[in-house]
Amino acid sequence: MPVHAYGLHWKPEDVDWSGRVNGAWRMPGRVGAHRPGLRVADLRHQQGIYVLYGHHGAYYVGLARKQGIGERIKAHHLTDSHRGMWTNFSWFGFRQVLKTRDDVGFQRLKHLPNNILSGDDASIADFEALLIKAMNLQNKQKMRFTSPYVDQWTQVPARDLARYLAKVNP
């Protein structure tokens, strides 16, 4: 399936773009809140589709292929023509978040597969679910991603990152 992880309506002001708080800029997210199910990942290198939202809904949609989603959003927030034109963002990642962790405690990301789209009904259904979630549409039936292994990641504000990493690194 194309989508393996996603985050909805994250706030750019909760990202430490400069790396002053945690030593390096990161885009952390979590699944769960307590051990043993808590997982924390730096999702800035995730590749996939992202949506920037303005005051009246979706403002801009982008695809992060070679650069990670985090780098693209960082540029839109700090330096390019979209600066100040949007208030929050959602992202849909094509890389799986692995169970293994790096030396800081973040879950690792699997390499992007060579062929994301298979053309089967499940891939098409996943793109329908992505659009429904991204646009916050009120379809008759609540669309879900077809794989049971797709996780919604909750943004970890920079000020809370050390607390969550301490939970996964006893």
What are 65-114's pLDDT values in tens digits? 888 999 999 999 999 898 899 999 999 998 999 999 998 899 999 998 77
Average pLDDT, the chain: 85
At 138, the pLDDT band (50, 70, 90 cuts) reads low
| Least confident interval from 13-22, 39-48, 67-76, 89-98 | 13-22
Radius of gyration for the chain, computed over Cα atoms and rounded to the nearest angstrom: 16
Number of neighbours of residue 39 by Cβ within 10 angstroms: 20
Q: What's the rounded mean pLDDT across residues 128-156?
A: 73
| Least confident interval from 37-41, 115-119, 129-133 | 115-119
Cβ contact 87:9 at 8 Å: no
Look at residue 1 and tell me whether its pLDDT is greater than 70. no
Q: How many domains does the chain have?
A: 1
Domain of residue 89 covers 5-168
* pTM of the predicted structure, to 2 decimals: 0.83
